[in-house]
A = this chain, B = another copy of it.
Amino acid sequence: MDVTLAEISSPGRVDPGAGITTEELALAARNHGIPLEALRYDVTPLGLHYLLIHYDIPLIDPAAWRLTVGGLVGKTLTFGLAELKELPRRTVRVTMECAGNGRARLEPRPVSQPWLVEAVGTAEWTGVPLREVLAAAGADPAAAEVVFTGADHGVERGVEQDYQRSLPLAEALRDEVLLAYEMNGLPLAPQHGFPLRLVVPGWYGMAHVKWLREITVVAEPFTGFQQSVAYRVRHEPDEPGDPVTRIHPRALLVPPGFPDFMSRARVVRPGTVTLEGRAWSGRAPVERVDVSVDGGRTWSPATLAEPDGHPWAWRRFTFEWAASPGRHVLSARATTANGDSQPEGQAWNRGGFVNNAVQHVPVACIAS
């Protein structure tokens, strides 16, 4: 009996039911978030950075691998890994967040990778600035976009594809956009795009194409699946929707005290508890963080760490909390230099994208 792609690959859907399905759980078991206590590190240790892989991690032989740069260029170029490493190199510290972070808390729930709040991480990426490579190939300054093609292959909503995304030319030419071959001073791990990935500071994770094999300069805006079907903010299935681009502001607390294994509920003892967390935005910089220890009724300013020369990375904040016995709900809220902040409730959309609702951390303060 013949079978077609459409039979094994479903359209997008939302689920009004209470429980997570086995399919969503299979994604959660592969792709993982940052354990929230790891927000304590300036740079996330390898293995703790969030990870979202659409298909499989491809197996790439670095000796045979080549990057092709073509399309609207003076001369199509191909690079081996050693050749890329001879070009100017730069290291940029970047906080990256998945566009679907928070999706599993929406109601009804968009069915996809079921993030709660933990799809974030910060790494030191080292590579060659993309604009060096575009300049070497003689990219047409009148081009509209640059398309990035990865080696990861799969099917999504019936469409067989290699993962592809584009950037407007002006974004692609920003100083800090990298073709990265190192993460935290080590060669890229397979799951982070070995041997080469795009890094676009400030943008949600879908823009940072992994396992890069081709760069194509194009005259018209790219309309591939990941650009025009996926990663759009839509309320109705048939509307074109708005593209997902830069990271909205968010603050997350390191949950204080210690957890219950099963519920992850937090326990602290009475007294002064130093709360800490991280705040970030891919738009204007975070300029203020407020903390609430009464479930959002009242807010007080947290102490923000001084700028540390890493404008694309998260910023640490602290807050001294006088914990008294009983139940408490802690929250933090980031505000940018533009006045953008975080909503108290989730803004629902069909894909579950760009949620940045305020985090709630229930804590039990126990006297004995």
Known contacts A2-B326, A111-B262, A260-B8: does B189 contact A22 (CB below 8 Å)?
A: no
The complex places the Cα of A2 from the Cα of B367 at a distance, in Å, of 8
Q: How far is the CA of A345 from the CA of B31 in the complex (A)?
A: 27
**A338 on interface, CB distance cutoff 8 Å:** no
Interface residues of A in 99-120 (CB under 8 A from B): 104, 111-112, 114-116, 118
Residues of A within 8 Å of B, CB-based: how many?
A: 77
Contact partners of A20 in chain B: CB under 8 A: 19-22, 24-25
Chain B residues lying within 8 Å of A28, measured Cβ to Cβ, are 25, 28-29
- Tell me if A259 and B35 are in contact (CB < 8 A): no
| A30 in the interface (beta carbon within 8 A) | yes
A13 to chain B, nearest CB (A): 9
Contacts of A156 in B (CB 8 A): 260-262
User: Contact at A3–B191, with CB atoms within 8 Å?
Assistant: no
Against B, the Cβ 8 Å flags (1 = close, 0 = not) of A347-365 are 0000000000000000011
A-B contact pairs, 25 of them (CB 8 A): A1-B326, A3-B364, A3-B366, A7-B364, A20-B21, A27-B262, A28-B28, A29-B114, A29-B116, A30-B36, A30-B118, A31-B32, A35-B56, A35-B191, A38-B57, A38-B190, A45-B191, A46-B47, A47-B47, A47-B191, A48-B189, A55-B258, A111-B262, A155-B258, A160-B258
Top 10 A-B residue pairs of the complex, sorted by shortest distance between their CB atoms? A19-B19, A32-B32, A47-B47, A20-B20, A28-B28, A156-B261, A37-B56, A8-B265, A9-B260, A29-B33
Chain A contact residues, CB within 8 Å of chain B: 1-5, 7-10, 17-33, 35-38, 40, 45-49, 51, 53-57, 59, 104, 111-112, 114-116, 118, 153-157, 160, 189-192, 255, 258-265, 267, 325-327, 364-367
